[in-house]
Structure 1
Amino acid sequence: MSDCGTRALSVIGFIGSVFSPWYRWSGRRDPENHVCLNVVTYGPGGRFTMTDRGRGALHRTATEFRVGPSRMLWHSGRLVIEVDEWSSWPLVSKVQGRIVLTPSALADVELPLSPDGAHAWRPFAPVARVQVELSQGHRWQGHGYFDSNHGTAALERDFRYWTWGRFPLKDGAVCFYDAARADGSHLETAVRFDAQGRHEIVTPPPRARLARSRWLVARETRADPGFQPRQTLAMLDAPFYSRSVVETKVEGELTRGVHEALDLRRFKGPWLMPMLATRVPRKA
């Protein structure tokens, strides 16, 4: 998110593109045949890119993840992302440029999201600076974050709903992960990080409701007692998913961070896949 709060971006590298209709229609048997670098910019000139590509587009080493013409590279303690993509309909245009994420430190923690370990979350760099130089006028600096989710089962098999948020604090950051699992159990995780990457599992503040998204996805986050969180920047809004910049208060500190809400019950619906195909082209 930019320091001025008016622009933001998200970049997700997929092996087994979990939100791709092509991957679901394939039976999810071959994740390396459905790879993607999803780059989305928010604010003036915002664009959405998510091309589902085949196995021939994938190249990876210990330090590089390449998908077609774009790549992520770990170099000298920084994550360098070189983007060369096309945005999807209706704003079809080239999205090109470079993003550099510089962590203040790396965290050494991985947390299971399900009791059987089928899903896990790894926050590599909870505190970082980001420099963005992309087309459509996206040239800015701000604070950022680098993590990974991985699993061996479909999300909609094991979860009904989840929310996640990462909020910067003056001496680090805090992440909240709340999920309703398909078996009726719940995940309630709050992790506090300092600038050196050290982490501590903490008691989360109370749940606080946010207004529903434009697609009426239910949303909630965490906040100090008596404080009402609010959205300050709309980001991605889909029938099953919402991403936005949210202002909340944690430990008495007012903070703005990226928040997501994911409704896997809606994502299960077969009616959704043709809609997603209009936004996620397939390039075998």
Structure 2
Amino acid sequence: MVPPGGYRWWYVDAISADGRYGLTIIGFIGSVFSPYYKKSGRDIPLDHSCLNIALYGKSGARWVMTERGAADIAQSRDHLQIGPSAMRWQNDKLIIDIEERDIRLGIPWRRRVKGRIVLTPEVLNARSFKLDAAGKHNWHTIAPRARIDVAMDQPDIQWTGSAYLDGNHGSEPIEDGFRDWHWSRAHAGEDVAVIYEGTRRDGSHFASALRFDQHGTPHEEELPLVAPLPPTLWAMKRQTRADRGHASVLRTWEDSPFYARSALSMRIFGKPVTAVQESISLNRLIHPVVQFMLPYKMPREV
């Protein structure tokens, strides 16, 4: 149960075996980015749920983030239905059935986005982490390493690759807890490297470098050097940590006024890797101009 003012999300990212495609999928209850949830006073998180789908590649790129009300949501321990789409655990696999319409700024008609994605964990982790002393914000890497099978009907794309699954939950708005953060993950040989750092709302800094071993057990490692990255077109600051403090941007997957997601090339824990990285500015998120713009990217259906 998500408390009033709180949130919960489940996050998947993946890169195809040939490096041509990528995706992220996030199931939200109490969508942290929703201007409707913020404006409502955040009393009913379930009434502000959505499935965010981002497909990347030269062909078939799509963006979906349609918010739905409580009447369109059904949930149980192993199942989350958000409108016509759903995420569910079945036979130790996470199955995501998608039936949505995409969003393209300036174009009134929306293309169908339909398909099935199956994530099969290769290792699981039982430990979660508090991101603040009071435990109001928590993060859990559920499956640091997984296989993924993507079978989309619309667009017509099929691929397999490597994936990652985690979840976050909190009991207050995310911007009340943080000013910004930078996060990245990479499959490094048999290990998985996850870097998470940022600034809390009270000005304190947090940073950790975790190495999940082949059994999924997390080990805290010495922080690698800061690896600055070029700002995005929206002048979003982004950075990661890497061996010798060097990383390069392969592709900028998302570039928005308050959020950036990128694919990086770098070395971590002595291994050359392709990493998925994100940077977010919560100060930018709550700016009135950004709040005015968000409904064009995140429509609501009730």
TM-score tier after normalising by the smaller chain length: over 0.9
1:185-224 equivalent positions in 2, closer than 5 A: 185-224=204-243
Report Cα offsets for 1:145-203 as digits up to 9, x if no partner.
11001001111112111000011111121100001111111111111112321211111
1:59 and 2:59 correspond: no
| Alignment-mate amino acid for residue 44 of structure 2 | D
**Matching residue of 2:32:** 18
Return the alpha-carbon distance in structure 2 between the equivalents of residues 210 and 6 of structure 1. Answer: 22
**Matching residue of 1:119:** 137
**Secondary structure of 1:50's match?**
strand
Shift of 1:137: 3.0
Question: What TM-score do you get using the length of structure 1 for normalisation?
Answer: 0.97
Percent of aligned pairs with the same residue? 37
Moved over 4 A (4+): none
**Secondary structure of 1:19's match?**
coil
**Matching residue of 1:128:** 146
1:127-276 equivalent positions in 2, closer than 5 A: 127-134=145-152, 135-225=154-244, 227-276=245-294
Return the alpha-carbon distance in structure 2 between the equivalents of residues 159 and 37 of structure 1. Answer: 23
Report Cα offsets for 1:212-240 as digits up to 9, x if no partner.
11211001100112x52111122111100
**Matching residue of 1:79:** 94
Q: Is the 8 A contact 1:101 1:144 kept in 2?
A: yes
Query: Which runs of no fewer than 5 residues in structure 2 stay unpaired?
Result: 1-14
Shift of 1:113: 0.6
1:33 and 2:47 correspond: yes
Return the alpha-carbon distance in structure 1 between the equivalents of residues 89 and 295 of structure 2. Answer: 31
Return the alpha-carbon distance in structure 2 between the equivalents of residues 139 and 275 of structure 1. Answer: 33
1:68 and 2:88 correspond: no
Query: Which runs of no fewer than 5 residues in structure 1 stay unpaired?
Result: none
**Secondary structure of 1:217's match?**
coil
Return the alpha-carbon distance in structure 1 between the equivalents of residues 268 and 221 of structure 2. Answer: 12
Return the alpha-carbon distance in structure 1 between the equivalents of residues 26 and 65 of structure 2. Answer: 9
Alignment counterpart, residue 9 of structure 1, candidates 19, 23, 35: 23
Return the alpha-carbon distance in structure 2 between the equivalents of residues 182 and 197 of structure 1. Answer: 31
Return the alpha-carbon distance in structure 2 between the equivalents of residues 58 and 121 of structure 1. Answer: 23
